[in-house]
Amino acid sequence: MIDSGIAPGLYGINNKNVEFLSHIFPKLKITARGNELKIAGEEAEIDTFIDRLNLLVLHYERFGELTEHNILNITSAEDDSFYRLDREGTPGDILLHGRDGRIIKAITPNQKKLVESSSVNDMVFAIGPAGTGKTYTAVALAVRALKNKQIRRIILTRPAVEAGENLGFLPGDLRDKLDPYLQPLYDALWDMMPMQKLLSYLEDKTIEIAPLAFMRGRTLDNAYVILDEAQNATESQLKMFLTRMGKNAKFFITGDITQIDLPRHQNSGLVQATRILKNVNGIDFVYLDNSDVVRHQLVTKIIQRYEQWDHGKDENAKR
């Protein structure tokens, strides 16, 4: 039985959330009628569903909203303590509350390592495959630092490297051409603060989003600076970026060394940095893997298959 006061919001418009849950739990038959939610299927699967349903109810009771994004995170996370609220309704170890009351927190063990490392190191490298929350965690840490007045500004940057597309043929002026490369950074920020506040910060340069080339010649003081997609920075570009570090600055560098889009004659600065900067006091490298993927469950399977394929090619090449 679902409390009749929350059932409509929990189910979603036209039972949209119930339908979404049916896709996530295909072995179960889930039917919503009034404040009754009927579940049919194997006992173990039902137990898992009920456990996650209780977390969905807790989330809705606290925030008055339940989106597909919330549902996917809550039902797929291995560490469900992220969603369990204590009796006072206070989540532990929260980085910040985002828009619409969304809890933003490191979910996986390696994401938690990133948070811990950032508290004791001024420069952190987060290296791992797509979907492991590297950029999202970094942006959350930056927004938290800004809200706590630990820094005065956030600077987010990426190399404008073409991954199969031709930048010159994109429509519009330079900003129009570059914005698609920077969109993931905007997406993360939109999750973490009200739109008007974000627009205000972008307008007065409290938050700056710019291509890596725009960092040359600058000294970045009192800032939380994130370089995303660092595997696509050349060796000279990454050295240039790292030496922009000023007083009271935190640098966070993220990248996936399995997805380098640089031309073959150019080496990745991120790969070089893992060799040159290891064991430097104040610099830390945190490696994420398939277990940290927080996107759709198929992303983990896709990454695993590609790794198996690449391993097979390497073995054949040795023969």
pLDDT above 70 as % of the chain: 81
Lowest mean pLDDT among 99-113, 154-168, 227-241: 154-168
Between 68-76 and 43-63, two packed helices, what is the crossing angle to 10 degrees?
130
Alpha carbon of residue 211 to chain centroid: 19
Can you give the pLDDT at residue 284? 97
- Alpha carbons 302 and 261: distance in angstroms, whole number: 19
- Average pLDDT on 41-51 reads 89
- Alpha carbons 316 and 319: distance in angstroms, whole number: 5
Q: Where in the chain is the domain with CATH 3.40.50.300?
A: 108-310
Can you give the pLDDT at residue 276? 96
Q: How confident is the model at residue 59 (pLDDT cuts 50, 70, 90)?
A: confident
Can you give the pLDDT at residue 156? 93
Can you give the pLDDT at residue 90? 38
User: Pick from 295, 303, 288: which is nearest to 110 by CA?
Assistant: 288
CB neighbour list of residue 188: distance below 8 Å, 6 or more residues apart: 135, 136, 139, 140
pLDDT tens-digit series, residues 177-234: 566 667 778 888 888 888 888 899 999 999 998 888 889 999 999 999 999 999 999 9
- Average pLDDT on 71-75 reads 81
Lowest mean pLDDT among 57-61, 125-129, 153-157, 305-309: 57-61
- Alpha carbons 82 and 246: distance in angstroms, whole number: 35
Q: How confident is the model at residue 128 (pLDDT cuts 50, 70, 90)?
A: very high
At residue 91, does pLDDT exceed 50? Answer: no
pLDDT tens-digit series, residues 291-316: 777 666 677 778 778 878 877 766 66
Lowest mean pLDDT among 43-47, 152-156, 251-255, 292-296: 292-296
- Summary mean pLDDT of the chain: 82
At residue 119, does pLDDT exceed 70? Answer: yes
Can you give the pLDDT at residue 277? 96
Cβ atoms of residues 136 and 107 within 8 Å: no
CATH superfamily of 108-310: P-loop containing nucleotide triphosphate hydrolases (3.40.50.300)
Can you give the pLDDT at residue 292? 79
- 297 or 48: whose pLDDT is higher? 48
Q: How confident is the model at residue 165 (pLDDT cuts 50, 70, 90)?
A: very low
User: Pick from 163, 143, 174: which is nearest to 250 by CA?
Assistant: 143
- Alpha carbons 70 and 68: distance in angstroms, whole number: 5
Can you give the pLDDT at residue 285? 97
- The encoded tokens of residue 24 equal 């996530």
- One DSSP character per residue, 56-96 reads HHHHHHHHS---HHHHHHHHH-S-GGGT---TT---SS--E
Q: How confident is the model at residue 76 (pLDDT cuts 50, 70, 90)?
A: confident
